[in-house]
Structure formats: structure tokens, C-alpha cells
Structure 1
Amino acid sequence: MSDTGATQSPTQDHVEYFLDDIRYQGKSPRTQAAYERVLRDFEAYLSSRDLSLTEANHRDCMAYIHQLRGDLASSTVATYASYLHRFYDYMTRVDAFDDNPMSIVVEELDESINTDPARRDISVTAMRSFFESITHPLDRAVLLMLLKTGIRAGELCNLDVRDVSLSESPVASSHRPRLDGRPDSLYVDSAPAQNAVYNGERRSASNKRKRATTIPVDDELRRTLTEWLAVRPDPVSDANPLFVSTSDDWGRRLSPAMVHHLVETHAREYGWYREGGGPEENVTPHYFRHFFTTHLRDRTGDRGVVKYLRGDVAKDVIDTYTHDWGNRVREEYEANIYSLL
């Protein structure tokens, strides 16, 4: 990685700056040319809308990817999206840009190549009615965790009991030092990687979070987690996973496939999932992240808080919110998080 990000001139061509760095990294001339072709095309698209690369938000990126679908194969559209994502991700990591507007777009592409940003519109009232039909302690805890925190299925599966600080817990276990002084909170690390050993256990999923994040646990989630921990089977793993199976894989850590099956089962029973339906129709674990982002963003006047909770903001922004976690993040979250029980 180049270390020139901090000294970049404000007037410097951002695309050329990025191309210089991937050239230093040893990328082939063919790869460099492919990146330049895509980035210049995107830059021209933004220019036609009187926007620059630094001004583009996720909706601008979505619109660009969406308009490609009429002319290019789906695999080519995915390649364009990956190039833009890598560009923005790199520029964010070297502090040249504040954030990566392609993050949300790439998440959409992870579910389906259909990049139409339209999704099922579910109100908080309707989601509350849906949740009333869930009675199993594990299912309630998993679904409410997804809905109240916006974390991904893989991140939920990687949680250990040490990652949660509850004011009252039926499980005798100490939390992470990072949660000291932050009662009723959840720590989502960015470190776990698929097939890598983390906290003494090989993980089946990666945490896609750009930055480790501490998320408040409100009264509803605290009560639901306490009820789950009171009946949770003894874990098979010494890592003491927070969520374990209560079926055939009794006591084993939940996998993303199990979480998807759990959500799909309940959504199908409620009429929110149809075989063959796309992401704009079906309710999946990723839909809950969309629901969390949309409703919390609409309720709070501080959009930075939502970006912080999602874990996909630039280092300077996340440092600001980490430093002022107690007064800023917690107060904004508790004042605006929706009630589902």
C-alpha cells in the first residue's frame, strides 16, 4: 500500500492517484487498463450529473450500476461494481476519501445480481406484528439481534458471550475489556475471517465490518438475550458462542446458513418469502440490515451514528464516535431505536 495518501494534493486526479498506487503494488498493465476504463466511465457518468467522485453517494453509485444492466452482461456489471468498490475502499483506507458509498451497493450484489434498489417496504408496525408470531427463544434472540443492531448474519454467528455486556446475565462469564464502562452493549469485531482461528475456534464466516464497533443493547434486546441465555444449551466450543443450535447440531455455533434458514422459515410462514423471489421481494437476514439502516436513519438527525453502527465509515469518523460513545452514540440510539415488543 502506498503511504502517499496523507500528502495527496486536493487538486490531484483521484483516478490517476489510485492507478499510480496499484501500479506500485505490481498490478499488471492489463489490470491497470481495466481499472482506468471503468473508473473513467464512472467519472464521466458523475460529471454528466454535475457530481465528482468525492460527492457521489450510494444512490448515485446504485443508479450507475443499474443503468449498466441494459447494455452489459450480469458478470460484467458485477466486475464494474467490484472495481468501484475497491477504488473507494482503498481511497478511504488512505484517508483520501471520508467513506465508501459502494459498500451498500456491493451488499446488494452479494444477494443477487439484480441491483434494482427497490425493496419491500415494511413499516415498524408490520415488523412488530411479524415478531409477535416468533416464540422460540433462539429465534426471537437471533431475529431481534438482527433487527436492533443491523449486523450481518456472519457477524451474528461469530459473536461469543464475551462480546456482550449485560447488566443482568444468567451466564457467568466476563466480557471483553473493551466493554468496560459500557453496560448493556455489544462488541462486533472486524477481525474474524472465514477458515481462520479466532478466540480459539476456526470460523465458518468472515466479519465484513470495516471497523470494530460497539453497539448499544436496548431494554428489549437485553431482556430477549437474557431469556435466551437462561435456556441456551451448553456450547460445544470453548469459545463460548452466544448463539448455538437447538436442533440436530445441538450446542454447536450457528452458521450463516442456519440463520438464513431460520429467517426464511419465518418469513415464508408470514408471506414475506417466495421461492424464486428476488431481494426486492423476499425478507432475508440482509433485509433486516436494510430495515435497520432505513428506519434508524429516518428517525435520527445524526446520519453519522448510523454509519458508525454499521461499521463501514472512515477511520476519522469512527474514532470520533468511539471517543464520544457514551454521550453521542448511546443517547442517539436509545432516543431513536424503534420498539418491536
Structure 2
Amino acid sequence: MSGQKRGESTEQTHISYFLDDIRYQGKSERTQAAYERVLSDFKEYLASRSLTLESANHRDCMAYIHQLRGDVASSTVATYASYLHRFYDYMTRVDAFEDNPMAIVVEELDESINTDPTRRDISIEAMHSFVETLSHPLDRAVILTLLKTGIRAGELCNLDIRDISLSSSPIEGSHRPRLDGRRDSMYVDSAPAQGVTYNGEKRAASNKRKRATTIPVDGELADVLREWLAIRPDPISDASPLFVSVSDEWGRRISPAIVHHLVETHARDFGWYRAGGGPEENVTPHYFRHFFTTHLRDRTGDRGVVKYLRGDVAKDVIDTYTHDWGNRVREEYEKNIYSLI
């Protein structure tokens, strides 16, 4: 991006170009003024914290949105978020910024405002075609794990090698005692919390499930995980994260923002993601949890098993399925989990 006006900061130049763009698109003067007002307020908020529009990450954006609550209506908060999301999407499209930190914020905001949106209806056959487009072992492992287990992006990021019991694993490492006798399975704890040290590493995301859960790993997911582990870089953390970056932050635990960007990129290429689109049409990491819940529930007819796997049921139900894990959970899962490869 070039053409900075004399006396105008780089920050203001970014905003000016964006405002020019929406003006060329025919947005009214009132809408243009609203965008400018929001962007200026956000820029001042970041400056007070020695941050810039380009350096802000999703946490900074979330903090800005959070401090709006109580001062303006929830609908206004959503509008501010959508304006910032569109601005960052534009900046990434013109290669001014590397990523859109508002993407994950908007997804979480949408989920909090509308807990049960009418979502895009994707068949198993269509999802199979989508998975076939994934070529990199990390992308395949991340997306198939989300699709086959229904875990959240933060829960996926918090997985360590000890949380996986995988037969014929290409790397050495002992699993948790909780996984003893449970072949090809994954343990998703409820304990990890943002900013808290867990397994020797301070975590950037929280596991939101009410109870720890052991989830079966079927043959397809096991194969994809083995493919990923065969090329996985040595992790920087002694916690030995299951999923680490293969790009700029080589060997570091991946973050929810990275997972969201990965999913958004592939969904956009497949026609399943539109800038400014809501949860009704966009495929995001949370959509895969919806896909898992819907299709597995329809196939099993057993809401209890699905609720157990999601980790969002009461203790008495958890205990029922925990005690009968081998016979009921694994059998129901293996009998009904869909094939995507």
C-alpha cells in the first residue's frame, strides 16, 4: 500500500484507504462516518496501550470489545465488531496486514449472541469432498480432529502428546494413566485455563468443557495423526504439544487464532466462508463441533453418548458413561462415526 499523504501517519493511511474502498462500493456518507468513528476510537484505544492496528492481536481486539459492554447496547457492540472485522479483512486482502485478529473475536461474539443459529447444512459427502482438498499433514490433522471429536479450537490447542494413546505412534512418549487400557483414544481435560500454567506451560486458551472426557480415535483419525506426527517439528515447550506451528513460529504450540485462520482459509477456498458472513453461513472451527454433534446424534440416536463426548453434561451422566466407557462409548462411537477420507 503506497501513497501516504504528507503529515498522515501509516495508521491513518490504512484507515483512509479502507474508507476510500467502502466509498467506492457505494456506502452512504452516514455509513462511512460510522466506520471512521469506530476505527478512530479503536486506534486511540490501542495507542493508549502502545499498540498499533497492525500489531494488535485477537486478545487486544477482544479486550476492546469487552470494555464496550455496559457503555453501549449489545447490538452496538456487535456492529463495532463487524466494522473492525471488515477493516482487518480488507487489510489482509490487500496484503497490508498478515492476518485478521478480529476473525476469532467475531466468531466468539456470534456464538454468545446467538447460541443456536441456523447453520449451513453440510452433508457428510460434501464434507468428505472438503477434506479431500487438504494436503498438508498439519491441516488435515487439525481439521479432522475437530470433525471427528467435536472438541473446541482451544481444547485442540491445549492437547499434549500425553493426551493421546495411539497404537504404532511414530514418536516416543507416554500417555496419561487415565488412558491405560484405552487404545487409540484422546483425553480432553477440563482444567486448562487461559493464563494459568498447566503441565509446565502457561496456556493461551481455556478448555470450556464441564468435565474431562476420553474420546475414541477411529482408524481414519489415527492414520492422519500418525502422518502428522511423522513430520511434526520438535516442540519448543517441554509440555510437548500435539500440534505445533510449521511456519514463522516453528515448533511453538498453535493458538486458536491460528486454527481459525487455517479453517477460514480452506473454507474460503471451498466457498464456505464469506467476509462479513455470520455463523449461519460461514464454516469455522465451531461449525465442526456443530457438524459432529448433529451427524453423530442422528446416527446414534443416543443424546447421552454425544453429550458425554462433548463434555457438557452433569456429573451423574459423566459417571455413567465413564464407568461403561469401553462397552458403550467406544462401541457406539466406532459403530456410528462417519467416514471422511
TM-score, with length taken from structure 2: 0.68
CA distance in 1, matches of 2:295, 2:161: 28
The verdict on how the C-alpha distance between 1:76 and 1:135 changes in structure 2, with shifts beyond 3 A counting, is closer
The verdict on how the C-alpha distance between 1:125 and 1:152 changes in structure 2, with shifts beyond 3 A counting, is same
2:46 maps to which residue?
none
Contact map agreement 1:134 1:140 (CA 8 A) in 2: yes
Residues 128-277 of structure 1 mapped to structure 2, 5 A cutoff: 128-277=128-277
The verdict on how the C-alpha distance between 1:271 and 1:163 changes in structure 2, with shifts beyond 3 A counting, is same
Instruction: Give the gaps of 5 or more residues in structure 2.
Output: 1-71, 79-106
CA distance in 2, matches of 1:77, 1:240: 38
CA distance in 2, matches of 1:116, 1:183: 35
Instruction: Give the gaps of 5 or more residues in structure 1.
Output: 1-71, 79-106
Contact map agreement 1:109 1:115 (CA 8 A) in 2: no
- The offset of 1:167, in angstroms, is 1.1
Contact map agreement 2:161 2:173 (CA 8 A) in 1: yes
Q: Deviations over 1:12-54 (max 9, x none)?
A: xxxxxxxxxxxxxxxxxxxxxxxxxxxxxxxxxxxxxxxxxxx
Percent pairwise identity? 83
Aligned length: 242
- The offset of 1:168, in angstroms, is 1.1
CA distance in 1, matches of 2:138, 2:219: 17
The verdict on how the C-alpha distance between 1:232 and 1:272 changes in structure 2, with shifts beyond 3 A counting, is same
The verdict on how the C-alpha distance between 1:115 and 1:304 changes in structure 2, with shifts beyond 3 A counting, is closer
Residues 76-91 of structure 1 mapped to structure 2, 5 A cutoff: none
- The offset of 1:116, in angstroms, is 6.1
The verdict on how the C-alpha distance between 1:76 and 1:308 changes in structure 2, with shifts beyond 3 A counting, is farther
The verdict on how the C-alpha distance between 1:295 and 1:241 changes in structure 2, with shifts beyond 3 A counting, is same
CA distance in 2, matches of 1:116, 1:161: 33
CA distance in 1, matches of 2:313, 2:248: 39
CA distance in 2, matches of 1:110, 1:279: 7
- The offset of 1:74, in angstroms, is 3.2
Contact map agreement 2:117 2:279 (CA 8 A) in 1: no
Contact map agreement 1:164 1:187 (CA 8 A) in 2: yes
CA distance in 2, matches of 1:108, 1:328: 33
2:123 maps to which residue?
123
List structure 1 segments (4+ residues) > 4 angstroms apart after TM superposition. 75-78, 107-110
Q: Deviations over 1:287-306 (max 9, x none)?
A: 00000000000000211000
Contact map agreement 1:112 1:279 (CA 8 A) in 2: no
Contact map agreement 1:145 1:221 (CA 8 A) in 2: yes
The verdict on how the C-alpha distance between 1:214 and 1:115 changes in structure 2, with shifts beyond 3 A counting, is closer
For 2:310, give the aligned amino acid. R
- What secondary structure, in the 3-state scheme, does the structure 2 residue paired with 1:215 have? strand
CA distance in 1, matches of 2:299, 2:73: 38
Contact map agreement 2:165 2:179 (CA 8 A) in 1: yes
- The offset of 1:115, in angstroms, is 5.3
